[in-house]
Chain A
Amino acid sequence: MTDLNKLKFTKTHEWVRFDGQKVVVGITAHAQQEISDVVFVELPKIGKKVPQAAEAAVVESVKAAFSIYAPVSGTVVQVNEKLAKDPGAVNRSPYEEGWIFVLEPSNASQDTPLMTHEQYESFVQGEAAPA
């Protein structure tokens, strides 16, 4: 089980795991619950440059489509191809099997800092549903 205290979080319900020079991104347990059954994940193209908070991927349920935003500025270097056959992994295992993409951060100085797990939990308490 992932230690959530080792992750960072965004206000748009993405989690971030720092892995050497890379950054792994997925959506939180709270987000997947709000979205309900994921039917498809539209993955970004490898090499795509995304500024912080730009749309990087889309997660679809039967009834709605949800934008997944880049938590930090960077370039997409890897995507979770397994989600093509098994989109439900995002629901079942949002922090492990359900990771979505990996960024090589550009360490832009204008990136706003991310939240800790504790800060994210308080943020969710005070909020209704993801965007």
Chain B
Amino acid sequence: MEFVPITTEDKQAMLRKIGVGSMEKLLECVPKSVPRADLKMPAGLSEPELIRLAEELAARNVTTKSHVSFLGAGSYEHFISSVVRYIFSRGEFLTAYTPYQPEASQGTLQAMYEFQSLLCDLTGMDAANASLYEGGSALAEACILALRETERTKLVVARGVHPEHRQTLKTYLQQIGTEIVELEARDGVSDSKKAAAQIDSKTAAVVVQIPNAFGCIEPVRELEKLAHQNGALFIVAVNPISLGVLQSPGSYGADIVVGEGQSLGTDLLYGGPYLGLFACREKFIRKIPGRIVGMTRDAHGRRGFVLTLQTREQHIRRAKATSNICTNEAMMALAAAVYLGSLGKEGFRDVAVQNLRKAHHCFDRVTKIPGIRPLFQAPFFNEFAVSLPVDPEEVNRRLMKAGFLGGFPLKRWDPQLADGYLIAVTEARSKEQIDRFAAALQEAIK
């Protein structure tokens, strides 16, 4: 394919104006000490050839279209309004640049301001940024903020925080010498009685995820008390869809709310680009990493929007920046805002309620199967863990043949949970699909 419009005639005219005889003359600025490349690559493809190649590769993958999915574990299939895809595809947003020149970017800036506002309404926080990369790095940024604010060196993190987010946190903090303590767990959630001994005056923050990675509802109120009694910050990582039926973390005392925003209008995309959510109380507003949009006015008093509080950012503070982030996930934030707008107050609640009820219907069906028992008694939202009498990965192979994308084998997170199996059920599953899945599961464990 060809995207360079320079014709032979153009080239001659341009070289003439520049005052050189050939392209090679221009390339003489690369000294002879640097070897020239001779790439070992095939020739380029035409558009039809490229599409055919892509379709062939795409056809080799199991998708939520080809199989009925009960797989969650941090990435979820939800219904997404066609409006989201339409707005996402608009070149005015998709091919625009970062809104550093606000007069030419009021569309983007207002859309981001609206996203920030919606996120604050969801989480009960006072301020939010215009997105971070994904849930793991968002969690790391929140913890770094807490460590700096409190000038303490210990983090107390619930075991139920998504293992990959915890691993990302460890990578980000490996050189700071932070002590990371895992909260004792009992029955799938943090043990708040034992937590009292673990949270102390050295703790910068207590970190919990709700629902947690195993789908369970954590004892957030008890943990908040312990955190604040000890002068630590309370960081809550959320599944934003659950906020349709669960109280906002702001209402139970969270200082910072983070999370993976993929479930708000973004497809599965084999892991990314996703959406790092970050929201917090007013007092931390000047410590927030990433871009923030603020409202202001122009010389004629018209309302407008600008990137603000930029002196926190890398392009100004450089080594002293609050973070190093530059490019963010603006399009995913836009998708999230349009998604929330498409559902509205009633629709968002409906989605959450359907997730809750369908998951519980599936739980009832599945736990009635002889040989399958729930791993935990704790309440759950749209995911629950069971133990299987047959290797979960083998079960999934059998289920795939029957047209299902089965649940998540928990041994992939923790070898000690060898028979653990995490089943996710969202509003995208019908009763008929759930019942068929239960029947197929019963077959698959024979």
**A and B: partners?**
yes
Chain A residues within 8 Å of B, Cβ to Cβ: 39-40, 42, 60-65
Query: Is B316 a contact partner of A65 (Cβ separation < 8 A)?
Result: yes
Q: In the complex, which residues of chain A have a beta carbon less than 8 angstroms from the beta carbon of B317?
A: 65
A18 to B286, alpha carbons, bound, how many Å? 32
A13 to B286, alpha carbons, bound, how many Å? 25
Query: Is A40 a contact partner of B286 (Cβ separation < 8 A)?
Result: yes
Q: In the complex, which residues of chain B have a beta carbon less than 8 angstroms from the beta carbon of A64?
A: 311, 316
Q: In the complex, which residues of chain B have a beta carbon less than 8 angstroms from the beta carbon of A60?
A: 311
B105 CB-CB contact with A under 8 Å: no
Report B316-330 residues with CB < 8 Å from chain A CB.
Answer: 316-317, 320
B354 CB-CB contact with A under 8 Å: no
A94 to B110, alpha carbons, bound, how many Å? 36
Q: In the complex, which residues of chain B have a beta carbon less than 8 angstroms from the beta carbon of A62?
A: 310-311
A63 to B311, alpha carbons, bound, how many Å? 7
* 15 A-B residue pairs with CB within 8 Å: A39-B311, A40-B286, A40-B311, A42-B286, A60-B311, A61-B311, A62-B311, A63-B310, A63-B311, A63-B316, A64-B311, A64-B316, A65-B311, A65-B316, A65-B317
Q: In the complex, which residues of chain B have a beta carbon less than 8 angstroms from the beta carbon of A42?
A: 286
Return A85 CB to nearest CB of chain B, in Å: 13
Interface centre among A40, A61, A65 (most CB of B within 10 A): A65
Return B277 CB to nearest CB of chain A, in Å: 25
Identity of the chain B residue whose Cβ is nearest the Cβ of A42 in the assembled complex: B286
A39 to B312, alpha carbons, bound, how many Å? 12
Identity of the chain B residue whose Cβ is nearest the Cβ of A39 in the assembled complex: B311
Query: Is A65 a contact partner of B320 (Cβ separation < 8 A)?
Result: yes
How many residue pairs link A and B with beta carbons under 8 A? The number is 17
Q: In the complex, which residues of chain A have a beta carbon less than 8 angstroms from the beta carbon of B310?
A: 62-63
Q: In the complex, which residues of chain B have a beta carbon less than 8 angstroms from the beta carbon of A63?
A: 310-311, 316
Identity of the chain B residue whose Cβ is nearest the Cβ of A65 in the assembled complex: B311
Identity of the chain A residue whose Cβ is nearest the Cβ of B306 in the assembled complex: A62
Return A87 CB to nearest CB of chain B, in Å: 12
Q: In the complex, which residues of chain A have a beta carbon less than 8 angstroms from the beta carbon of B320?
A: 65
Identity of the chain B residue whose Cβ is nearest the Cβ of A67 in the assembled complex: B320
A60 to B320, alpha carbons, bound, how many Å? 13
Identity of the chain B residue whose Cβ is nearest the Cβ of A55 in the assembled complex: B320
A40 to B317, alpha carbons, bound, how many Å? 14
Identity of the chain A residue whose Cβ is nearest the Cβ of B317 in the assembled complex: A65
Return B119 CB to nearest CB of chain A, in Å: 23
Return B237 CB to nearest CB of chain A, in Å: 28
Report B259-302 residues with CB < 8 Å from chain A CB.
Answer: 286
Return B370 CB to nearest CB of chain A, in Å: 63
Return A3 CB to nearest CB of chain B, in Å: 34
Report B163-178 residues with CB < 8 Å from chain A CB.
Answer: none
Return B308 CB to nearest CB of chain A, in Å: 8
Q: In the complex, which residues of chain B have a beta carbon less than 8 angstroms from the beta carbon of A40?
A: 286, 311
A40-B286, A61-B311 known, 15 other contacts, Cβ within 8 Å: A39-B311, A40-B311, A42-B286, A60-B311, A62-B310, A62-B311, A63-B310, A63-B311, A63-B316, A64-B311, A64-B316, A65-B311, A65-B316, A65-B317, A65-B320
Q: In the complex, which residues of chain B have a beta carbon less than 8 angstroms from the beta carbon of A65?
A: 311, 316-317, 320
Q: In the complex, which residues of chain B have a beta carbon less than 8 angstroms from the beta carbon of A61?
A: 311
Interface string of B310-352 (1 = CB under 8 A from A): 1100001100100000000000000000000000000000000
Identity of the chain A residue whose Cβ is nearest the Cβ of B310 in the assembled complex: A62
A30 to B64, alpha carbons, bound, how many Å? 65
Identity of the chain B residue whose Cβ is nearest the Cβ of A66 in the assembled complex: B311
Return B49 CB to nearest CB of chain A, in Å: 49
Identity of the chain A residue whose Cβ is nearest the Cβ of B151 in the assembled complex: A45
Q: In the complex, which residues of chain A have a beta carbon less than 8 angstroms from the beta carbon of B311?
A: 39-40, 60-65
Identity of the chain A residue whose Cβ is nearest the Cβ of B315 in the assembled complex: A63
Return A10 CB to nearest CB of chain B, in Å: 21
Return B51 CB to nearest CB of chain A, in Å: 47
Q: In the complex, which residues of chain A have a beta carbon less than 8 angstroms from the beta carbon of B286?
A: 40, 42
Interface string of B207-236 (1 = CB under 8 A from A): 000000000000000000000000000000
Return B265 CB to nearest CB of chain A, in Å: 33
Identity of the chain B residue whose Cβ is nearest the Cβ of A40 in the assembled complex: B286
Return B298 CB to nearest CB of chain A, in Å: 15
Q: In the complex, which residues of chain B have a beta carbon less than 8 angstroms from the beta carbon of A39?
A: 311
Return A68 CB to nearest CB of chain B, in Å: 13
Return A97 CB to nearest CB of chain B, in Å: 22
A60 to B321, alpha carbons, bound, how many Å? 13
